């Protein structure tokens, strides 16, 4: 209705405004559909388990360090607290942080093995 009001009842102009306003969420939703719940119907049991582990890991980290990690994006979009584009942004930020933590742990493991072999 806001787009129609702003377009002064000019339907083509209102549709363009509405599309422009909603486009970020439309693009985000299209991306979210590829990873937010691709194995929710258990088409592939192994991948469903990995997806479930990802959901549990993100949820656990969000409880331990909520300033750094967010719950799985599937849970974010179920509660209309965030727009799709904001949920995607938060999910991507958490993913980057998970990779950084994984890389740091990998570096520590390599250093520990190197130290053991040098001793």
Contact 87, 74 (CB under 8 A): no
20 belongs to a structural domain: no
44 belongs to a structural domain: yes
Q: Over 80: is that where the pLDDT of 35 sits? A: no
15 belongs to a structural domain: no
Q: How many CB atoms lie within 10 A of CB 11?
A: 10
For residue 93, give the nearest of 115, 65, 53 by alpha carbon. Answer: 65
29 belongs to a structural domain: no
Mean pLDDT of 64-89: 90
Q: Over 90: is that where the pLDDT of 103 sits? A: yes
Domain count, the chain: 1
50 belongs to a structural domain: yes
Contact 28, 88 (CB under 8 A): yes
For the chain, what is the radius of gyration of the CA atoms?
21
Q: How many CB atoms lie within 10 A of CB 109?
A: 10
16 belongs to a structural domain: no
3 belongs to a structural domain: no
Mean pLDDT of 41-66: 89
85 belongs to a structural domain: yes
Place of tokens 């509405």: 18
Q: Over 80: is that where the pLDDT of 78 sits? A: yes
Q: Over 60: is that where the pLDDT of 1 sits? A: no
Which range marks the domain in which residue 99 is found?
Answer: 34-118
Average pLDDT, whole number, for the chain?
87
Q: Quick one: pLDDT at residue 6?
A: 67
Mean pLDDT of 5-23: 81
């Amino acid at each position: 209705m806001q787009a129609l009001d702003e377009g002064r009842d000019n339907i083509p102009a209102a549709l363009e405004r509405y599309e422009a306003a909603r486009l970020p969420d439309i693009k985000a939703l299209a991306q979210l559909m590829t990873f937010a719940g691709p194995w929710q119907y258990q088409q592939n049991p192994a991948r469903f388990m990995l997806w479930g582990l990802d959901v549990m890991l993100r949820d656990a980290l969000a409880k331990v360090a909520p300033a750094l990690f967010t719950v799985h994006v599937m849970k974010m979009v179920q509660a209309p607290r965030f727009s799709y584009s904001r949920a995607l942004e938060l999910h991507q930020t958490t993913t980057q942080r998970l990779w950084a933590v994984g890389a740091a742990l990998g570096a520590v493991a390599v250093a520990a093995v190197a130290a053991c072999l040098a001793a």
